[in-house]
Structure formats: structure tokens, C-alpha cells
Amino acid sequence: MAEVTIYINGRSYDISCDNGQEGRIVDLAAYIDQRLQQVSRSGAAYNDAHLTVLTALVLADELFETREQLNAIPRAPRGAVAAPAAASVAVNKEEEAAVLKVLEQITKRIEGVASRVAQA
């Protein structure tokens, strides 16, 4: 098990991940931070917890939109799918699971920070 430090919204988070996945986690965190900063600049959020929820909704919307686009692509009859396409779908599901796992970890940590801030 490896550990990597990511930075989101000016805060650092130590994240455990599988060996070799450190770069991927850093890239995911950078993307999340980029989207969070975009939401922040819009002025829609009134505190960090709200900003986190809005950003999670934006990311979930992107994920759902991508799924809808993938589902709209005509598929070959069952069993006739070429091996490269099947491999691509498997990788996409693995990537999706990894993204969701990181988002869950980050959300838990941010909720903890938000709770401590609210109590201070």
C-alpha cells in the first residue's frame, strides 16, 4: 500500500492507494481541485462544506453525462464485441470505481474538517 499527499482547495490530504497508483491519484486530485476552483469562482457556495457538495454534484453530473453518452453508442450484438472494446469498457469501470473511491475518501475528510470548523 502506498501513500500520497494531494492538495485540494489549499489543504493537504494523505491518501492511501495501491502501489503504482500514486500518479493517478495526484492527477484525479488536481482535476477535482480545478473543478472546485471553478465552482468557487462562480460565487455559488457560501462555505467550504457547500462548495464541496456543489463540486461533488458537478463531478457526478459529468460522470452521469458520460454514462449517458456511452449508453447512446450503438453496441454490437451480445458476444460479438471485439476484445479491444471489451477491454476499454473494463478499464473505464475500473477508473470509475477508483474515482468514486477517492471522492468518498475526500468527502469524508472534508466533512470532518467542516465539522471541526463549525464547532470552532
- The pLDDT tens digits for 63-115 are 999 988 888 888 767 666 555 555 555 567 777 877 777 777 777 777 666 66
Report yes or no: 33 and 8 within 8 Å, Cβ to Cβ: yes
Give this prediction's pTM: 0.61
User: If residue 68 lies in a helix (H) or strand (E), which one and from where to where?
Assistant: helix 48-72
Amino acid at 50: H
Measured CA to CA, the distance from residue 5 to residue 116 in angstroms comes to 21
pLDDT digits (tens, 9 = 90+) for 1-35: 999 999 999 999 999 999 999 999 999 999 999 99
- Which stretches does DSSP call E strand in 11-118? 11-17
Report yes or no: 15 and 25 within 8 Å, Cβ to Cβ: yes
